[in-house]
Amino acid sequence: MRSVSIFGATGSVGKNTVSIIQGNAAAFDVHAVTGATNIKDLAEIAIALNADIAVTSEKERFAELETRLKGTGIAAAAGRDALLSAAADPVDWAISAVVGYAGLALSLEIAKNGNTLALANKESLVCGGALLQETCKQSGATLLPVDSEHSAIFQALNGEKLEQVERIILTASGGPFLHYTREEMAGVTPKQAANHPNWSMGLRISIDSASMFNKAMEVIETKELFNIPSDKIEVVIHPQSIVHSMIGFNDGSIMAHMGTTDMRFAIGYALYWPERMDTGVERLDFTKLLELDFKQADAGRFPAIAIAHDVMRQGGLAGAVFNAAKEQCLDLFLDQRIGFLDMADLVHKTVGALDSFGNCDADSLDKISKADKWSREFVLKLSKKSNKYV
């Protein structure tokens, strides 16, 4: 039996993880499951998996969680410190599937244990890639990707030499606005932006996919995870999302990972690695697969990728500043205080102003947190200063 913990168990990736574990319950001993505001789901998951402890990040929701777990023998805890303490509990395998910057501190805590960290929280690598890699190195932890593109690349790299990789090609669906003009994109609502054509995901990553900020994050994630130069990372639009990503080698060969659009591919691979197990994903039927299209991403309508390259050129705290600006802009967009295209404009300006804060190596959580805070405040100041954004 392997001991496992699920951070962000009530989310989209978390629930997929829960369902895989439930499908093979005898193989796993579940320690911690965590969530935020959805206490009913958190308690149900904890009971279904017979976890040792359920933790909510929301301190004021403790009583509700405790009541729902009464008589089950499952411990309840709440607040950020309780989450960090659960992450410090050693288990064989833990998944970091919390959304946003809050995931970094948890990923670092899990990594300190020296076991396996399955990483869905891409913000961890974007904000603190070097720090997380160093933490894994120190503890001997194994870092396995759970983002579908990065799992695809990881699988295609199996048995290959990194120095023989010519390029990594990340596929992007193009999101719901692939065929919109810039003028049309300017007026879209959060509801329209959240409507991803292929993947069923959490609200924030779905809107990030529509703006291609998600792909921009993934470009940085690729650099940090595989230690590959940024000029070797390409993005190609592939509306069907069947090819999950590709590697081009120095002999011109391309290795592609293909499958249906189901996160259980990536989660299952990280859970059972180095073995493979059937998690029940639908099989590709080549008699029904009509076409696979690929086209260039339009930099004019999707400036996020170019911003990612600026971030990688700047290095240091730029990733943290980029992520925080993007998260702040998403909140403003969700509140309908800025338009869809204003997000890229504000993030671009904030990343461009990093020198006024002072860039340096992102080698401690403290430095990264200060940069995160500065960036969010900078976006708010910018958005208030100009009438354009209100």
Interacting residues toward ligand NAD by CB under 6 A: 8-14, 35-36, 38, 57, 83, 97-100, 102-103, 120-123, 147, 199, 201-202, 204-205, 263
What is the nearest approach in angstroms of ligand NAD to the Cβ of residue 290? Answer: 24
What are 256's strand-pairing partners?
246
Alpha helices in 157-303 (DSSP H): 182-186, 190-193, 203-211, 213-226, 264-272
Closer to ligand NAD by CB, 51 or 382: give it: 51
Residues in contact with Mg ion by the rule CB under 5 A: 147-149
Residues 6+ apart with CB under 8 A from 310: 318, 348, 351, 352
Closer to ligand NAD by CB, 41 or 298: give it: 41
Sign for the CA dihedral angle at 340, 235, 351, 207 comes to positive
What is the nearest approach in angstroms of ligand NAD to the Cβ of residue 148? Answer: 6
CA–CA gap between residue 79 and residue 77 (Å, rounded): 7
Closer to Mg ion by CB, 12 or 57: give it: 12
53 in Cβ contact with 82 (< 8 Å): no
CA–CA gap between residue 367 and residue 304 (Å, rounded): 24
Closer to Mg ion by CB, 147 or 342: give it: 147
- Partner that binds at residue 216, options ligand NAD, Mg ion, none, CB closer than 5 to 8 Å by kind: none
What is the nearest approach in angstroms of Mg ion to the Cβ of residue 201? Answer: 9
Closer to ligand NAD by CB, 31 or 122: give it: 122
What is the nearest approach in angstroms of ligand NAD to the Cβ of residue 304? Answer: 14
- Partner that binds at residue 97, options ligand NAD, Mg ion, none, CB closer than 5 to 8 Å by kind: ligand NAD
Residues 6+ apart with CB under 8 A from 363: 130, 131, 134
- Partner that binds at residue 98, options ligand NAD, Mg ion, none, CB closer than 5 to 8 Å by kind: ligand NAD
305 in Cβ contact with 214 (< 8 Å): no
- Partner that binds at residue 11, options ligand NAD, Mg ion, none, CB closer than 5 to 8 Å by kind: ligand NAD
- Partner that binds at residue 334, options ligand NAD, Mg ion, none, CB closer than 5 to 8 Å by kind: none
CA–CA gap between residue 11 and residue 313 (Å, rounded): 33
Burial of residue 314 (CB within 10 Å: 0-12, 13-18, 19+) is middle
From 139, 141, 138, 147, select the one nearest 172 (Cα to Cα).
Answer: 147
C-alpha of 191 from chain center? 21
- Partner that binds at residue 36, options Mg ion, ligand NAD, none, CB closer than 5 to 8 Å by kind: ligand NAD
Residue nearest to ligand NAD (CB): 11
What is the nearest approach in angstroms of Mg ion to the Cβ of residue 185? Answer: 21
What is the nearest approach in angstroms of ligand NAD to the Cβ of residue 81? Answer: 12
